[in-house]
Structure 1
Amino acid sequence: YVFYGRSDTTLNPGGVRIGTAEIYQQVNCIDGILDSIAVGKEVDRNEQIWLFVQLVKGVELNDEMIASIKAQLKSACSPRHVPSAIYAISD
């Protein structure tokens, strides 16, 4: 894979600088999530946060887990940390 864009770990949705470590610290402690990666995706001349999560075998990324991830980030960080999209990925 080839990724284009920033080489540091800073996202910039809505002009607000967000460190990816803040996101990982909250997401990776949720039961059922092994690992995660957050990336910035330009949409309509604005950067959105897209979150990819690697799940424990047998765990499914359903509406309940997505809501849990979003609630955790909103309460522990800020509404700006909440990703626009969340996807499950394999190894």
Structure 2
Amino acid sequence: MSEPDLETPEARDAYRAELRAIARGPRMIGFIVVIAGAGLLITAKSAEAPAPWLLNLGWVVLGAGWLILLYAMIQRTLYHRRRMRGADTQD
């Protein structure tokens, strides 16, 4: 893996697109899980007498979604660092 060419606007755009493709699946899954957790919390809070398990489930789902998003951010950052160093990832 070589350093990205960032000299021209086209090359920078291509590298941005490459970075956007890193961990795209986990980012989308994490986003959906965060939205689902927020929806559970809103539903539970708007109920007349919310069930405690529903509130707890909402917080757990929301936290899980953020953990998935954090994982995706870390993977993307590590990929970017390796590319900028020009490190070879295949041993």
Point out which structure has higher relative CO (alpha carbons under 8 A, 6+ apart): 2
TM-score range, shorter chain: under 0.3
Q: TM-score under structure 2 normalisation?
A: 0.28
Q: TM-score under structure 1 normalisation?
A: 0.28
